Chains A and B, each alone.
Chain A
Amino acid sequence: MRVKKLSRFGIAVALFTTFSSMAHAAENKLVLTGSSTVAPLAAEIGKRFEERNPGVRVDVQSGGSSRGITDARSGLADIGMVSRSLKDEENDLKGFTIARDGVGIILNSANSVSALTDQQITGIYTGKITDWSAVGRKAGPITVVNKAEGRSTLELFLHHFKLKASDIKAQVVIGDNQQGIKTVAGNAGAIGYVSVGTAEFEAGQGTPVKLLGMTGIAASVENVRNGSFPLARPLNLVTRDEPSGLVKSFIDFAQSADVHDLIKEQFFVPLGP
């Protein structure tokens, strides 16, 4: 009896595997993969899109911007999600910006530093400045918090300060915005960089972190939207071919004012007014 049951399991598994390819090719289904920053937003946009277009399914998968590029190119995904500007070698893909995200330098609230020049930030991140006394403040070691390799925020940061990943001497390497905020909130001598929207929200909630302005421009959601804040990035959807049909209507929807409330809910900045 037991043996019979076991063999039935085996047959069932084999059948599943065989029929899988048939079930996979579903019509009216959009697959998005890529940036873990864009994924929660895209999933919310997808839900609203599904509500307005009955019978359509939008599946959002995360995994990072590089994955978004690769999957859009290979056709594994209909749309890739990329949380940075497209590079020159990626101009075979079509990009569509749906929102903007600013990256701001954050310090612990207990830190008396109120502004840093680009040079000082470069010095701190390359290990030339290791103590807060060097920027004219109370002495204490600086804990440099850096993003892990492959993160879009890291690329944006490196690009802005004209650094190479290998130049950076960091004490802590983190993955996501939330982790960065938690690290800096728990260490009075730490410096890090995270999404402005996230930091503004967390600081408003009483988390002991503060945002530093850049070249005299305050790090605020407003300044990210109007483009004056220098350290900002676009959140893009990319496709391999010129969008048509369902892909086109989804991208149009994601760029419309109908989703501005969703974008704000994720602490990003909509493009339009």
Chain B
Amino acid sequence: MPDATGTAVTSTPRALRYLVLQGVTWMAAALVAGAFAWMLADIIWQGAGRLDWSFVTTSPKSAGRSGGIAPILVSTLLILTVAIAVAAPLGLATAVLLSEFTRHGGHAGRWIGLSLDVLAGVPSIVFGIFGNAFFSVWLGLGFSILAGGLTLACMALPILIRIAESGLRAVPNDWRLGAAALGMSRATVLCQVLIPAATPALVAGLMLGIGRAMAETAALVFTSGYVDRMPSSLFDSGRAISVHIYDLTMNVAGGDRSAYASALVLIALLIIINGAAIGLADRALTRRITPI
């Protein structure tokens, strides 16, 4: 009898608490998903009418109110290519240093880690001013796609390194020991075992970095610039799509619809790049790891 009442008393509130907890987590998730869905619906609602094939294949006219965004799209992709080409190898190398060649919790690792975390929190406008002073003026790159890409690489590096590092650390130590027991050199272990195993994390880091880079405005206004002509080389100034959207909403009266359409293109581009990268990473992973 006391046993039965005991369970009844404790189980009802517990079940209730569980229900409430479940309800709250669902609501939080629904809120986040809802906010994104609302934003996306708003952009599609306002921008879809302006978006057609010619929008992505022609040059802007009348400061972007009419015409398309072809040169801006090309500039954006070029800036992104430069940023990835520079950030990926540098980021990977630093992550390898941090995870494989420094003691966990050692002095060097701690200081490098700390400086990376500080760098990750630096506002983008600071990177913009640094990029302008260092790449554009001091190195003489001027307003150019190259200067913009290099600035973005600096911005994406901290996040990229941190995620790649944790990916490398997550590779079980047994694998390193096993490889050492087989007499494999450190370089071979790195290239054949550790990096392939950490590929998903490397790609995730790269994706976050690219996401930050594609959405960047403040760092690019002063480095890659404002020119909306089709770029003919990496030394040309080229307007990135986020700068274009900002300019249309803020400086161009009547540019709202083009801004929405450009935002739609930007989101589509991000989804395509993310999807492609995740697909590639999966393929690389199954090819390298499964047969072993």
Contacts and interface: CB of A to CB of B under 8 A. Distances in A.
Q: Do A and B share a complex?
A: yes
Interface of A: 2-3, 6, 9-10, 13, 16-17, 20-21, 23-24, 31, 36-37, 39-41, 43-44, 47, 57, 59-63, 76, 175-179, 197-198, 201-202, 205, 265-267
A61 B139 contact: no
A60 B254 contact: no
Given A20-B140, A266-B63, A59 B227 contact: yes
A223 B265 CA distance: 41
A44 B251 contact: no
Given A9-B85, A24-B141, A24-B142, 8 more contacts: A9-B89, A13-B85, A23-B233, A44-B62, A59-B225, A178-B250, A265-B62, A266-B252
A76 B93 CA distance: 36
Contact of A40 (B86, B143, B252): B252
A76 to B, nearest CB: 7
22 contacts: A2-B195, A9-B85, A9-B89, A13-B85, A20-B146, A21-B139, A24-B141, A31-B142, A36-B247, A57-B229, A61-B143, A61-B225, A61-B237, A62-B221, A63-B221, A176-B250, A178-B251, A179-B250, A197-B253, A198-B253, A205-B254, A265-B62
A197 to B, nearest CB: 7
A43 B63 contact: yes
Contacts of A176: 250-251
B226 A39 contact: yes
A201 B254 contact: yes
B26 to A, nearest CB: 32
B228 interface: yes
Contacts of B139: 17, 20-21
Contacts of B62: 44, 265
A37 B225 contact: no
B191 interface: yes
A35 to B, nearest CB: 10
Contact of A23 (B221, B235, B249, B252): B235
